[in-house]
Structure 1
Amino acid sequence: VKMGSAQRHKAKKGHNMKAPKKRAALARFLNRHIDQVWKDVRADPEKEEANGIRADAALPRTSKQPVDEDLPGMGQYYCIETGRWFINKQALEQHKKSRFYKMRVKELKGAKPHCQRDAEAAVGLGVDNGPKLGRAPASQPQNMALEQ
């Protein structure tokens, strides 16, 4: 800049580079994690309910599902091992030939995957909410607790 002349515009900032990283971080938690999929693969679909990430997520454990217009392919083409829906049968078959699918299947054949609850239990940390307050023990009726 020459002396005495004003700067015409500010230099560009790098804010637009944050968006892809943020999107990837959010997407990481929208998909099912390996420990959740491990339970889905081993669970009996008739006996147990699917526990989804969200309360409204009825996650399939079989390929036959009711029609859902909000999902790709009307919710008919679901890969249990990766927890993804596909638009048609060809896309699902192509996915099952992919490296990601084969690695996931190999990973699911092994031991139970690590989860945070197991790690905390290993070092002695657990959920301890303490004794329930404001209630008499279940064995004694309320009026007997007041007399003592």
Structure 2
Amino acid sequence: MGRLRRSRAHHARRDVHRASRTRVRTKDLDQIQLIDLDPKNRAKLEAQPIDYELPGLGQHYCVECAKHYETDAALQSHWRSKVHKRRCKALKEPAYTIEESERAAGLGKDNGRPSASVMETS
């Protein structure tokens, strides 16, 4: 008797692999918050010199999303999109600090354990 169904060799790993590719990787939120949204840097990014290797000669740039667009109409359309609005909402939240990340890993001063004075009173 022949094989009844095809073997499912990849076990749904394709989408995970696609997501981990670095060719479509943009700047992280903390990089944009700390560097790009600074008023001095933002002005430089919005008024970039002409670069023949960038889309739209580098003249149509969204600072929040860190992306270049071909035309001004495409940039205007992007500003009205859900993707841009979602990104702006995510940028309003404060970036994680090094201290917060250390506390989450249990390395900081207060790593979730109650202090000695709290333990003595109970």
Q: TM-score range by the shorter chain?
A: 0.5 to 0.7
Return the offset for 1:124: 3.3
Return the offset for 1:96: 0.2
Compared CA separation, residues 84 and 118, structure 1 to 2 (3 A): farther
Return the offset for 1:121: 3.4
1:35, 1:114 within 8 Å by CA — same for their partners in 2?
yes
1:41, 1:61 within 8 Å by CA — same for their partners in 2?
no
Return the offset for 1:88: 0.9
Report the equivalent of 1:65: 48
Which of 10, 23, 32 is 1:15 aligned to? 10
Tell me the secondary structure at the aligned position of residue 27 of structure 2: coil
Return the offset for 1:90: 0.6
Which of 120, 136, 148 is 2:101 aligned to? 120
User: Which AA in structure 1 matches 2:48?
Assistant: Q
User: Which AA in structure 1 matches 2:32?
Assistant: V
Which of 32, 36, 59 is 1:37 aligned to? 32
Compared CA separation, residues 113 and 120, structure 1 to 2 (3 A): closer
Report the equivalent of 1:108: 91
- Could you say which structure has the larger radius of gyration? 1
Unaligned ranges ≥5, structure 2? 109-122
Deviations 1:81-126 (A, max 9, x none): 111111111111000001121222233234x2226x343333435x
Return the offset for 1:28: 8.9
User: Which AA in structure 1 matches 2:62?
Assistant: C
User: Which AA in structure 1 matches 2:90?
Assistant: E
Return the offset for 1:13: 4.3
- Partners of 1:16 and 1:74 lie apart in 2 by 42
Report the equivalent of 1:140: none
Q: What TM-score do you get using the length of structure 1 for normalisation?
A: 0.54
Q: How many residues align?
A: 104
Tell me the secondary structure at the aligned position of residue 30 of structure 1: coil
Unaligned ranges ≥5, structure 1? 2-6, 47-59, 126-148
